[in-house]
A and B are shown apart, each in its own frame.
Chain A
Amino acid sequence: MQKKICMLGGFAVGKTSLVRRFVQSIFSETYLTTVGVKIDKKSVAFPDKTVDLILWDLAGEDDIGSFRVSYVRGASGLVLVVDGTRAATLAVALTLRERAEAEFGAMPFVLLFNKSDLADRWAISDSEINELRQRGWQIYLTSALSGEHVDDAFRQLASMVSK
Chain B
Amino acid sequence: METLRQLLVGREISELSRVTHLLDEPEQLAAAVGSVLPSAAARVPHAQLGEALAPAVERAVQRSIQKSPRTLTDILYPVFLPAIRKSIGEKIDQTFQSLNETLRHIFTWHGLKWRLEAWRTGASFSEVVLKHSLVYRVEHVFLINRNSGLLIAHVTADNATSEDPQLISSMLSAIQDFVKDSFNEKEQSGLDTIRFGELRLWSEVGPFATLVAVIRGNPPEELHEIIRDVLLRIHDECSQALEQFDGDSSQLAGVETQLQTCVELKQEESNQGFPWLVVAAVLLVLIPAGGWFFLSWQSGQRWQAYVSRLGTQQGIIVAEQKVRDGQFYIAGLRDPLAADPQSLLAGTQVDPARVHSRWQFYQSLDPEFVLKRLTASLVPPDSVRLSIVNDRIVAEGEAPDTWIDRARAAAQQLSAGGPEFDISRVRDVSPEARAAERWQAYVSRLGSQQGIIVAEQKVRDGQFYISGLRDPLAADPQALLSGTEVDPARVHSQWQFYQSLDPEFVLKRLTASLVPPDSVRLSIVNHRIVAEGEAPDTWIDRARAAARQLSAGGPEFDISRVRDVSPEARATKHWQTYVSRLEAQPGIIVAQQTARGGYFYISGLRDPLAADPQALLSGTEVDPARVHSQWQFYQSLDPKFVLKRLMVSLVPPDSVRLSIVEDRIVAEGEAPDTWIDRARAAARQLSAGGPEFDISRVRDVSPEARAAEHWQTYVSRLEAQAGIIVAQQTARGGHFYISGLRDPQAADPQALLSGTGVDPARVHSQWQFYQSLDPKFVLKRLVASLAPPKSVRLTIIKDRIVAQGEAPAAWIDRARLAAQQLSADGLSLEISELRELTPPELTHLREAIQAVDIFFDSGKAVPGPEQLPVLDKLANQLKQLAKDARKAGVTAQFMLTGHSDETGRETAKLSISAARAETVRALLKKRGVDPELLLVRGAGTFEPAEIENSRTGNSANRRVSVTVNFH
Contact = CB atoms under 8 A, between A and B. Distances in A.
B426 to A, nearest CB: 111
A25 B167 contact: yes
Interface stretch (B6-14, B39-47, B143-151, B315-323): B143-151
B170 A26 contact: no
Interface stretch (A36-44, A121-129, A146-154): A36-44
B247 interface: yes
B361 interface: no
Interface stretch (A13-21, A67-75, A82-90, A131-139): A67-75
A54 interface: yes
A73 B148 contact: yes
Nearest to B147: A74
Contacts of B174: 35, 37, 39, 56, 71
B171 A68 contact: no
A119 interface: no
Interface stretch (B175-183, B447-455, B695-703): B175-183
B663 interface: no
B662 to A, nearest CB: 121
Interface string B248-290: 1100000000000000000000000000000000000000000
B245 to A, nearest CB: 9
Contacts of A41: 164, 166-167
A27 interface: yes
Contacts of A71: 174, 177
A163 to B, nearest CB: 11
B164 A26 contact: yes
A31 to B, nearest CB: 8
A3 B177 CA distance: 18
B171 A70 contact: no
A76 B167 contact: no
Given A54-B167, A73-B148, A37 B247 contact: no
A35 B178 contact: yes
Contacts of A61: none
B151 A2 contact: yes
Nearest to B171: A39
A54 B178 CA distance: 17
Interface in B730-745: none
A1 B145 CA distance: 13
A26 B178 contact: no
Interface in A1-34: 1-4, 24-27, 31
Interface in A57-80: 68, 70-71, 73-76
A37 B148 contact: no
B148 to A, nearest CB: 3
A37 B695 CA distance: 132
Contact of A76 (B148, B163, B168): B148
Contacts of A3: 150, 246-247
Contacts of A24: 164, 167
B177 A39 contact: no
A54 B151 CA distance: 10
A35 to B, nearest CB: 5
B147 A73 contact: yes
A1 B177 CA distance: 23
Nearest to B245: A74
A90 to B, nearest CB: 27
Contacts of B150: 2-4, 54, 74
A19 to B, nearest CB: 13
A52 interface: yes
B246 A76 contact: yes
Contact of A74 (B149, B166, B168, B178): B149
Given A35-B178, A74-B149, A52 B166 contact: yes
Given A2-B166, A41-B164, A35 B145 contact: no
16 contacts: A1-B248, A2-B151, A2-B166, A2-B249, A3-B150, A4-B170, A25-B167, A26-B163, A35-B174, A35-B175, A39-B170, A41-B164, A54-B166, A68-B178, A70-B180, A76-B148
Given A4-B247, A68-B178, 9 more contacts: A2-B166, A3-B246, A26-B163, A35-B175, A36-B178, A40-B167, A54-B167, A56-B170, A71-B174
Interface of B: 145, 147-151, 163-164, 166-168, 170-171, 174-175, 177-178, 180-181, 246-249
Closest 4 CB pairs of A and B: A74-B148, A74-B147, A26-B163, A4-B148
